[in-house]
Amino acid sequence: MLHRRLLHDDSRGVAEALNETVCALKDCKGLIIQGKYYFRFDPLGEGAKWRRSFGQEIYSPLLLAFAEQDGDNWRNSRMTTFSGIDSSYSLPENVAIITLQELNDGKVLLRLAHLYEIGEDKDLSVMSNVELKSLFPGKKIGKVTEMSLFANQERAEMERKRLVWEVEGSKGDEDTILRGGPIDPTELVVEIAPMEIRTFIVQFDLHQEVFDA
């Protein structure tokens, strides 16, 4: 049930009638919520692949924007095709870019997320690698700094301040959380473990650009 409208209190805890309305001028009508349900039947143990990957497309769809044509030289004055990723490269199926934000001084905030849990899918619940060089073709990456999830401090600093708790019943190394390793400053490949989110500040060398011959 997406929404309910009641003219009287139903004694379910809110102590008031749930009579939400939407008004246009003097015409008020009960609030209407519309949604979509998706059903899919898969063999036992294979449902996560559709739910994770297709769910990402549902919740974060590609948004298209269009501009009015202004004159006969519109195509000549504008870039009509663009790809933010190298044409020969594609993200791993189990990884999504959840933040790509331009900052100041030639920096970009990049946040990558692994979509699957450990053991959720026999093929996709594994470590994945993302090549940063292929994500920014034509750009020279000068420095990559891993940050905390909220990007308000470097991850190394956060790890130094992290409290280590002694948990009753802990099995030591068996309880270690699987995480991707540090980034090689030369290869610039990000390793992402299942259900891990990694946040980076990518700084470009504004005086150097790389173009394909």
Confidence label for 81 from pLDDT (cuts 50, 70 and 90): confident
| pLDDT at position 66 | 74
| pLDDT at position 171 | 67
Q: Output the furthest CA–CA distance in the chain (Å, rounded).
A: 73
**Distance separating alpha carbons of residues 199 and 98, to the nearest angstrom:** 10
| pLDDT at position 188 | 95
Of residues 104 and 1, the one with the higher pLDDT is: 104
Confidence label for 157 from pLDDT (cuts 50, 70 and 90): very high
Identify the weakest region by mean pLDDT among 75-84, 144-153, 185-194.
75-84
Confidence label for 209 from pLDDT (cuts 50, 70 and 90): low
Residue extents of the structural domains in the chain:
84-164+179-204
Q: Is 112 buried (19+), middle (13-18) or exposed (0-12) by CB count in 10 A?
A: buried
The fraction of the chain above a pLDDT of 90, given in percent, is 38
Of residues 171 and 93, the one with the higher pLDDT is: 93
**Distance separating alpha carbons of residues 205 and 107, to the nearest angstrom:** 9
Tell me the pLDDT of the chain averaged across its residues. Answer: 85
Q: Are 171 and 126 in contact (CB under 8 A)?
A: no
Confidence label for 212 from pLDDT (cuts 50, 70 and 90): very low
Q: Which CATH architecture has domain 84-164+179-204?
A: Sandwich (2.60)
| pLDDT at position 139 | 87
Q: Are 91 and 113 in contact (CB under 8 A)?
A: no
| pLDDT at position 208 | 57
Of residues 70 and 188, the one with the higher pLDDT is: 188
Identify the weakest region by mean pLDDT among 75-79, 85-89, 91-95.
75-79
Confidence label for 176 from pLDDT (cuts 50, 70 and 90): low
Sign of CA dihedral 140, 64, 40, 1: positive
Of residues 1 and 81, the one with the higher pLDDT is: 81
Distance of CA 40 to the CA centre of its chain: 24
